[in-house]
A and B are shown apart, each in its own frame.
Chain A
Amino acid sequence: MKNRGKLTVTAGVLVAVHLLAVIAGFIAPYNYETQDREHPYARPARIHLTDCEGKFHLRPFVYATSPRDGTVNDYQEDCSRPEPITLFISGENYLLAGLVPTNLHLFGLRAEGRVYLLGTDGFGRDEFSRILYGAQISLFAGLLAAALALSLGMLVGTVAGAFGGWVDESAMRLAEIFIAVPWFYLLLAVRSVLPLHVSPLSAFIMVVAVIGLLNWGQPARLVRGVVLSGRERNFIQAAEGFGAKRLYLLKRHLLPMSFSVALTQMAVLVPRFILAEVLLSFLGLGIGEPFPSWGNMMAAAQQYYVLSSYWWMILPALAPIPVFLAYHALADVLQEKLQSTI
């Protein structure tokens, strides 16, 4: 019972996070590439309820900011220009979930000014919006890569387990070779043979493909183990005795048996692959500008002056934490479930 509650909570969190990424355009007040050259490296906005005279307002508001004289990238609030935050406001055009063209945003300012919840980067782009859009890339890169690695692993694992003999032997040796290389080095090595400067879409496909294709070894081993132990089960031997063909056995019994293992493995792999995409993009080998990924957003934070003066540039690094925690919790719950069914 306790287990089921935990499963619901973690699954709920994950669904919510992914939904948030899908409707990023609605939540984000600005587009990921909209620049505000007047406000590079602006601090996260101060949301006020009381104005400069100490009067209380029910509607939260921000003050318009202007550069402070004699400083670089430092801004002061202008007490004479309060700008109330408005919900469901029309702003820049975007495609909701990549399909529906609209200009409705969850919140924003009616006036000329802009509200930067988490500050801006060096081009004056809203970090909050970019983190949301970045989730689209980072989360789904991890998910797709895990799906790819798992389907490949399941294919190899079931075939190896079901056929045995030299097929099994050679498949497992190959898997061992893939596992024997420290994963990040292998990832970089493969990335090194692919073109460096490519369009963002092909970069995305490339990152997903590389991560997915390199990591089939571990799931293949696990699935093979399940299939091997499954072949010893009575009902499968009975089916074999009745003259069931190998392919039929594979499709009807062995593959479904490995689903629960595969699902658990998925919960383990997705966060790892999200991190892989983040790291690749961070190093400049993944998705490139102007598209935001949690990784390439942090590339700027490598510079000492950014890190020492503009602390909010490190915020994209915090974005994966809730996702990782939810996936880890999910993996734990699934693992427990798996052990209790065996």
Chain B
Amino acid sequence: MIGYLLRRIGHGLFLLLGVSLLVFLLMQAAPGDFFSTATLSERMSQETVHALRAQYGLDQPLPVRYVRWLTSALHGEFGYSFSYNMPASALLLPRARNTLLLTVPSLLISWLIAVPLGVFAAWRRVGWIDRLYSGGTSALLGMHDLLLALLALMLALHTGVFPTGGMSSFSASGTLLTDWKDLLWHMALPVSVLVAGSVAPILRHVRSSMIEVLDSRYIRAAEGHGLGPLTVLFRHALPAAANPLISLFGLSTALLLGGSLLVEVVMSWPGLGPMVLEAILGRDMFLVVGAVMLSTVFLICGNFLADLLLYVFDPRIRLDA
């Protein structure tokens, strides 16, 4: 158990290091930096720009800069934001929390919807239920997050029932309960958009891997022994079908993180997305690097969770480990 976990953690750390190197190299390949536009300004002398570059360590050779950035990341600072003039982490962490506030509930809800529905669709795999199901998932697959987000925004604008963006209202302040209610009210639309965008592929996978299991003989035997459909489906078939689904769990985190970035921008949710966009337009490179690293950390956590679940659910993994 411990060996297996350690190996997965080590692998995650290796990936993080690799990603950091990749992104850092990429940023260095960029022509110019945050102070490039300043050199064009008449009000700033070359010496001032040089001094600024030296102050932020931009005049150092690449390996030095990378090691410096790495130590700063290990101290939890992720470099320095030029435009905000403060450690990048102080900006990124609250934003990252807000992003998680969208992605984690969306992840849970879409799986909670997809698993029972997919199992049901696999059980009733002929007839009108199946046709309804395949029509529905195809339609959802054809939609994309951008369309869904714009539609949700339109809904909010026309009905006025939901807020059109942001995370909290001005009026809501005071007791913990009203604050939470206000937050949930603001989360409703972005989370629904994310769920609608991610539920269809999960559903399809659940159905197809369940069908594979339901065709096997021991399920027939279980049915023949008079076990009820619920027991057969959830006690015997689902665990056997779980392996590919759990791997999909990690993948769905990746898709949700990407989708969330867009939804945050469209629905002005103060998550990582709008900040990344702003940092890109302002060439604030450490913010970009930091956001990419944080999103990678989330993804790796998702995959790690999947590995853990796999260990719990799949005895074959336990034997290997």
Measured CB to CB, the closest approach of chain B to A66, in angstroms, equals 28
B 236-273 contacts with A by CB, 8 A: 254, 257-259, 261-262, 265-266
Measured CB to CB, the closest approach of chain A to B201, in angstroms, equals 10
Binds A, one of B54-62, B109-117, B289-297: B289-297
B 272-321 contacts with A by CB, 8 A: 276-277, 279-281, 283, 285, 288-289, 291-292, 295-296, 298-300
A283-B277, A301-B150 known; A181+B292 contact, CB < 8 A: yes
- State whether the Cβ of A167 lies closer than 8 Å to any Cβ in chain B: no
Question: Top 8 A-B pairs ranked by shortest CB distance?
Answer: A193-B30, A184-B258, A177-B18, A192-B280, A182-B257, A317-B147, A325-B142, A321-B142
Residue of A275, A279, A295 most packed against chain B (CB within 10 A): A279
Binds A, one of B39-47, B79-87, B153-161, B168-176: B153-161
5 contacts between A and B (CB under 8 A): A173-B14, A184-B257, A275-B144, A279-B146, A311-B154
Give Cα distance in the complex from A192 to B143, angstroms.
27
Residue of A285, A302, A329 most packed against chain B (CB within 10 A): A302
How many residues in A have their beta carbons less than 8 Å from beta carbons of B? 45
A180-B15, A181-B296, A182-B254 known; A307+B150 contact, CB < 8 A: yes
- State whether the Cβ of B91 lies closer than 8 Å to any Cβ in chain A: no
Do A184 and B154 touch (CB < 8 A)?
Answer: no
Residue of A nearest to B20 (CB): A177
Do B141 and A328 touch (CB < 8 A)?
Answer: yes
Do A184 and B262 touch (CB < 8 A)?
Answer: yes
Measured CB to CB, the closest approach of chain B to A188, in angstroms, equals 6
Residues of B within 8 A of A321 (CB): 142-143, 147
Residues of A within 8 A of B71 (CB): none
Do A177 and B22 touch (CB < 8 A)?
Answer: yes
Residues of A within 8 A of B288 (CB): 188-189, 192
Total cross-chain contacts (CB, 8 A): 130
Give Cα distance in the complex from A180 to B303, angstroms.
9
For chain A, what secondary structure do more than half of its interface residues adopt (helix, strand, loop), or is it mixed? helix
Measured CB to CB, the closest approach of chain B to A319, in angstroms, equals 10
Residue of B22, B146, B289 most packed against chain A (CB within 10 A): B146
- State whether the Cβ of A298 lies closer than 8 Å to any Cβ in chain B: yes
- State whether the Cβ of A101 lies closer than 8 Å to any Cβ in chain B: no
Do B289 and A282 touch (CB < 8 A)?
Answer: no
As a 0/1 sequence over residues 192 to 223 of chain A, the CB contacts with chain B under 8 angstroms (1 = contact) are 11111000000000000000000000000000
Measured CB to CB, the closest approach of chain B to A307, in angstroms, equals 6
Residue of B nearest to A311 (CB): B154
Do A308 and B154 touch (CB < 8 A)?
Answer: yes
A283-B277, A298-B150 known; A328+B138 contact, CB < 8 A: yes
A 316-342 contacts with B by CB, 8 A: 317-318, 320-322, 324-325, 328-329
- State whether the Cβ of B31 lies closer than 8 Å to any Cβ in chain A: yes
Do B26 and A189 touch (CB < 8 A)?
Answer: yes
Measured CB to CB, the closest approach of chain A to B90, in angstroms, equals 20
Do B157 and A317 touch (CB < 8 A)?
Answer: no
Give Cα distance in the complex from A103 to B150, angstroms.
36
As a 0/1 sequence over residues 214 to 253 of chain B, the CB contacts with chain A under 8 angstroms (1 = contact) are 0000000000000000000000000000000000000000
Measured CB to CB, the closest approach of chain B to A321, in angstroms, equals 4
Give Cα distance in the complex from A322 to B254, angstroms.
25
